[in-house]
């Protein structure tokens, strides 16, 4: 069981990730933007960040950079439909990249590996 | 000067008179020689005489004679008392051949021909020897001063006649050569005299001018009319040939446009060159005309081709950019809903399989399935519409359409779909019926109202005004939403041309709606315009539609 923060602007995807991972027994919180996520991180430190890249306002990359400036780096899983997700994920030092549209089992598997490792 | 006896003088004058008249109309040297011998016989009263001219190898050759045998002529031909280059040679008189030592070698021949006395009278031009004429006597003959004088006068006149004939012959030959040259050039060319009167032109020139100028009358150029390349009329007396003659210098690097009598025009590069005689006197000019019409046309065609090629390349590059942009936008706009659909479907499936359907989640995800699949269906419709518009395959089916009723229906639909804004509908006209495709018009109106809703996230009022103008109807949709920078106005109507503030406001959309709406409005013969005072200050869309409906097509 791990604590996870999901940063995703698209409501349906956000709900899906939260509901699916909660169902798997994880403690999941969510934020619709990078700005909102940074606020939440002031009061709690999850084990894993699941981050969308392309969001209005602060991008996923920017959010990850800011998080690392503020405190101990939290492992990141990138969740994106961008064709450059893999490249950006590598640059960010993400432990995994989940491509949209994704399979729920795949998401569960990747998050499981990320939190156990 | 010796005094000539009257009888000899009168005879000589009469003979010279006849001679000069004959020479004036002579058409060959032989006619001149015949007249010369007749004159010699008449004025000097000799029965035998001959004329010899130096040939090209400076050998004296018999050209005319009376009373001489072939044997004699063969034997003495080539004999001359003067070297060929003697200047101002003097007459040689032999009163008695039997006592003259210089003729010792020829005496048997002279005796056989019964020539007992002989005179060699030189023919000269400008003091230069060109031949001689001979007088032969059967008996020794003492030459009187009168006879010598008359003979020398005759020699001078015969020399002049021969010389004049030869130079006119060489002038004719020159002209003949010049014509042959002009004829064989293969390009249009013509010749004028020093006054600019056309004296000769070749067939190529006639073809270029499209007419045959009158030789000996027409001046400077045979073209019907001439223009400068900029189209200004060029008077004939200012044409390059006229200038070459006036200024006595060749004219180059000038282009003219010649118009034929049939109105066709040719671009010509003329090469007028004045001609001078050996003393430097202007005697005429020759002009060669190069027709560059075809060359210019080819160059223009090549230029056009190059331009078309560049345009095609730019178009192809723009198409590639548009495709890249489409892929980038479509991948983002499609991946999220597809990810949502897939995830929602999988989640519902898992709950059903486990036999544990959580009521809140089932409702949320079935709603999401319906909403998202509907959004994707509209997206697909838009994409297909753009494709149809681009390929011209979208056709209208106009009928009498009540725009006001349609507006009310679309507003109701917006409310049903959850729009929270207050719609303020103002109809300034009661006759809102026009000829239009009802489905397509509804698409435009729905798009305008959807946009007003989408881009007014703070639930402001949306003001819809319908009024009639001279051409038809004007529909204005005014919202108090996010607006757009005025400089982005054009971008709104470009496919996928979403403004930056629309993208960052996280309003879903591919940027096709306004493009499609404007195209449809224009197909109806109407217009669609957008304006905004700036970001955050709302937007105004004005749709105009003619009552008469789409233009017949």
Cα B18 to chain center, whole Å?
62
Residue among B335, B350, B365 minimizing CB distance to A101: B335
Strand order in the sheet with B117-125: B60-66, B48-54, B128-137, B117-125, B92-94
Q: Which of A7, A24, A11, A5 is closest to A104 using CA atoms?
A: A24
d(CA B514, CA B521): 10
Q: Do B343 and A102 touch (CB under 8 A)?
A: yes
- Beta-bridge partner residues of B400: B435
Residue among B339, B346, B350 minimizing CB distance to A81: B339
d(CA A73, CA A49): 10
The 10 Å Cβ neighbour count of residue B450 is 18
Residue-wise pLDDT tens digits, A22-58: 989 999 999 999 999 999 999 999 999 999 998 878 8
Q: Do B339 and A19 touch (CB under 8 A)?
A: no
Q: Do A103 and B339 touch (CB under 8 A)?
A: no
Helix (H, G, I), strand (E, B) or coil at B158: helix
Average pLDDT over residues B515-520: 94
Q: Tell me whether B364 touches chain A (CB under 8 Å).
A: yes
**Element (DSSP H or E) covering residue B443:** helix B438-454
Of A92-96, B46-50, B264-268, B448-452, where does mean pLDDT reach its minimum?
A: B264-268
Q: Which residue has the higher pLDDT, A79 or A84?
A: A79
Q: Do B350 and A9 touch (CB under 8 A)?
A: no
Which residue does chain B place closest to A33, by CA atoms? B506
**Element (DSSP H or E) covering residue B162:** helix B145-184
pLDDT surpassing 80 at residue B279: no
Confidence of residue B155 (pLDDT cuts 50, 70, 90): confident
Residue positions counted in chain A = 117
Which residue does chain B place closest to A98, by CA atoms? B339
Q: Tell me whether B350 touches chain A (CB under 8 Å).
A: yes
B129 close to B103: Cβ distance less than 8 angstroms: no
Q: Tell me whether B362 touches chain A (CB under 8 Å).
A: no
Which residue does chain B place closest to A54, by CA atoms? B332
A82 close to A94: Cβ distance less than 8 angstroms: no
B209 close to B223: Cβ distance less than 8 angstroms: yes
Confidence of residue A7 (pLDDT cuts 50, 70, 90): very high
Average pLDDT over residues B306-317: 88
CA distances to A30, B226, B231, B234, B292 from B255, in Å: 81, 11, 11, 11, 9
Spell out which residues of chain A touch residue B455, defining contact as CB-CB under 8 Å.
Answer: none
Spell out which residues of chain A touch residue B505, defining contact as CB-CB under 8 Å.
Answer: 56
Q: What is the pLDDT of residue B25?
A: 83
Q: Do B343 and A57 touch (CB under 8 A)?
A: no
Q: How much of chain B exceeds pLDDT 70, in percent?
A: 98
Confidence of residue B477 (pLDDT cuts 50, 70, 90): very high
Residue-wise pLDDT tens digits, B255-271: 888 888 888 888 888 89
- Give how far B534 is from chain A: nearest CA, Å: 19
Helix (H, G, I), strand (E, B) or coil at B440: helix
Q: Do B506 and A13 touch (CB under 8 A)?
A: no
Spell out which residues of chain B touch residue A55, defining contact as CB-CB under 8 Å.
Answer: 506
d(CA B412, CA B423): 10
Q: Do B336 and A10 touch (CB under 8 A)?
A: yes
- Strand boundaries in chain A, DSSP class E: 3-7, 27-31, 48-51, 76-80, 96-99
Candidates A36, A100, A111, partner chain B, best to mutate (most B CBs within 10 A): A100
Q: What is the pLDDT of residue B553?
A: 41
Residue-wise pLDDT tens digits, B197-256: 888 888 888 888 888 888 878 888 887 788 888 888 888 888 888 888 888 888 888 888
Spell out which residues of chain A touch residue B336, defining contact as CB-CB under 8 Å.
Answer: 10, 12-13, 81, 100
Spell out which residues of chain A touch residue B331, defining contact as CB-CB under 8 Å.
Answer: 81-83
Residue-wise pLDDT tens digits, B385-426: 988 888 888 899 999 999 999 999 999 999 988 888 999 999
Spell out which residues of chain A touch residue B356, defining contact as CB-CB under 8 Å.
Answer: none
Q: What is the pLDDT of residue B208?
A: 85
Q: What is the pLDDT of residue B4?
A: 60
Average pLDDT over residues B134-161: 88
Q: Which of B196, B178, B177, B183 is closest to B238 using CA atoms?
A: B196
Q: Do A16 and B361 touch (CB under 8 A)?
A: no
DSSP-assigned states of every residue in B132-151 = EEEEEESS--PPPHHHHHHH
Inter-chain CB pairs, A–B, below 8 Å:
60
Candidates B343, B350, B502, partner chain A, best to mutate (most A CBs within 10 A): B343
pTM of the predicted model, to two decimals? 0.51
Residue-wise pLDDT tens digits, B56-80: 788 899 999 999 999 999 988 888 8
d(CA B322, CA B302): 30
Confidence of residue B132 (pLDDT cuts 50, 70, 90): very high
pLDDT surpassing 70 at residue B338: yes
Q: What is the pLDDT of residue B397?
A: 92
- Give how far B340 is from chain A: nearest CA, Å: 6
- Give how far B342 is from chain A: nearest CA, Å: 7
B64: left (phi over 0), alpha (psi -120 to 50) or beta: beta
Q: What is the pLDDT of residue B507?
A: 75
Q: What is the pLDDT of residue B325?
A: 74
Residue among B336, B350, B503 minimizing CB distance to A100: B336
Q: Do A83 and B331 touch (CB under 8 A)?
A: yes
Q: What is the pLDDT of residue B1?
A: 47
Task: Please write down the HEC assignment for all residues of B192-224.
Answer: EECCCEEEEECHHHHHHHCCCCCCCCCECCCCC
Average pLDDT over residues B95-123: 87
Spell out which residues of chain B touch residue A23, defining contact as CB-CB under 8 Å.
Answer: 350
B73 close to B62: Cβ distance less than 8 angstroms: yes
Confidence of residue A117 (pLDDT cuts 50, 70, 90): low
pLDDT surpassing 50 at residue B353: yes
Of B104-113, B169-178, B191-200, B354-363, where does mean pLDDT reach its minimum?
A: B169-178
Q: Do A20 and B343 touch (CB under 8 A)?
A: yes
Average pLDDT over residues B16-37: 85
Residue-wise pLDDT tens digits, B479-489: 999 999 988 88
- Beta-bridge partner residues of B476: B465, B542
B64 close to B33: Cβ distance less than 8 angstroms: yes
Q: Do B344 and A12 touch (CB under 8 A)?
A: yes
Cα–Cα–Cα angle for B211, B215, B221, rounded to 5 degrees: 60
Q: What is the pLDDT of residue B134?
A: 93
Spell out which residues of chain A touch residue B364, defining contact as CB-CB under 8 Å.
Answer: 15
For tokens 């939440």, the residue is A40
- Beta-bridge partner residues of B98: none
Please give the structure tokens belonging to residue B448.
Answer: 């305008």
pLDDT surpassing 60 at residue B433: yes
Confidence of residue B531 (pLDDT cuts 50, 70, 90): very high
ipTM over 0.85: yes
pLDDT surpassing 80 at residue B159: yes
Q: What is the pLDDT of residue B435?
A: 92
């Amino acid at each position: 069981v791990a604590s996870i923060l999901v940063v995703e602007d698209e409501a349906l995807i956000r709900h899906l990730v939260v509901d699916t991972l909660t169902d798997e027994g994880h403690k999941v919180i969510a934020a619709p933007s990078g700005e909102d996520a940074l606020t939440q991180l002031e009061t709690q430190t999850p084990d894993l960040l699941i981050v969308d890249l392309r969001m209005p306002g602060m991008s996923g990359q920017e959010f990850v950079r800011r998080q690392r400036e503020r405190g101990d780096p939290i492992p990141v899983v990138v969740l994106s439909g961008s064709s450059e997700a893999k490249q950006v994920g590598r640059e960010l030092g993400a432990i995994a990249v989940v491509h949209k549209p994704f399979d729920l089992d795949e998401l569960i598997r990747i998050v499981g590996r990320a939190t156990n490792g | 000067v010796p005094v000539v006896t009257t009888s000899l003088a009168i005879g000589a004058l009469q003979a010279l008179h006849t001679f000069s008249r004959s020479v004036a109309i002579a058409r060959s040297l032989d006619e001149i020689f015949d007249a010369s011998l007749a004159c010699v016989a008449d004025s000097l009263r000799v029965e035998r005489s001959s004329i010899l001219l130096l040939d090209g190898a400076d050998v004296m050759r018999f050209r005319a004679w009376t009373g001489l045998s072939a044997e004699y002529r063969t034997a003495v031909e080539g004999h001359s008392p003067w070297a060929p280059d003697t200047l101002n040679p003097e007459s040689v008189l032999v009163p008695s051949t039997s006592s003259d030592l210089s003729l010792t070698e020829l005496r048997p021949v002279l005796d056989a021909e019964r020539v007992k006395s002989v005179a060699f009278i030189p023919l000269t031009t400008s003091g230069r020897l060109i031949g001689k004429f001979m007088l032969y006597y059967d008996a020794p003959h003492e030459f009187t001063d009168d006879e010598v004088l008359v003979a020398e006068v005759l020699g001078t006149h015969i020399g002049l006649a021969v010389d004049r004939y030869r130079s006119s012959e060489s002038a004719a030959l020159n002209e003949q050569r010049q014509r042959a040259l002009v004829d064989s050039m293969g390009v249009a060319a013509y010749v004028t005299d020093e006054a600019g009167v056309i004296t000769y032109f070749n067939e190529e020139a006639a073809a270029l001018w499209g007419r045959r100028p009158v030789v000996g009358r027409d001046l400077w150029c045979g073209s019907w009319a001439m223009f400068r390349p900029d189209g200004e009329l060029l008077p004939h007396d200012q044409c390059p040939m006229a200038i070459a003659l006036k200024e006595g210098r060749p004219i180059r690097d000038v282009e003219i446009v010649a118009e034929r009598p049939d109105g066709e025009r040719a671009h010509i590069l003329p090469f007028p060159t004045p001609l001078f005689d050996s003393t430097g006197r202007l005697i005429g000019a020759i002009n060669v005309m190069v027709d560059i019409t075809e060359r210019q046309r080819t160059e223009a065609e090549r230029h056009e081709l190059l331009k078309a090629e560049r345009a095609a390349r730019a178009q192809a590059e723009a198409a590639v950019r548009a495709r890249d942009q489409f892929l980038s936008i479509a991948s983002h706009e499609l991946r999220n809903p597809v990810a949502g659909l897939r995830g929602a479907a999988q989640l519902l499936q898992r709950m059903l399989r486990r036999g544990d359907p959580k009521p809140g989640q089932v409702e949320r995800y079935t709603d999401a399935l319906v909403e998202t699949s509907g959004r994707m269906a509209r997206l697909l419709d838009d994409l297909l519409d753009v494709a149809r518009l681009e390929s011209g395959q979208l056709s209208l089916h106009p009928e009498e359409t009540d725009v006001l009723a349609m507006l009310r229906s679309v507003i109701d639909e917006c409310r049903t779909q959850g729009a929270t804004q207050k719609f303020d509908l103002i109809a300034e006209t009661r006759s809102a019926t026009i000829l239009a495709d009802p489905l397509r018009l509804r698409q435009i109106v729905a798009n305008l109202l959807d946009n007003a809703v989408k881009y007014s996230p703070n639930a402001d009022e949306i003001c819809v005004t319908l009024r009639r103008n001279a051409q038809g109807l004007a529909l204005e949709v005014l919202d108090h939403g996010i607006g757009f920078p005025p400089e982005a106005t054009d971008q709104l109507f470009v496919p996928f041309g979403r403004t930056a503030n629309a993208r960052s406001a996280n309003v879903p959309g591919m940027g096709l709606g306004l493009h499609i709406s404007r195209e449809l409005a224009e197909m109806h013969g109407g217009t669609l315009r957008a304006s905004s005072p700036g970001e955050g200050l709302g937007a105004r869309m004005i749709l105009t539609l003619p009552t008469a409906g789409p233009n017949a097509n």
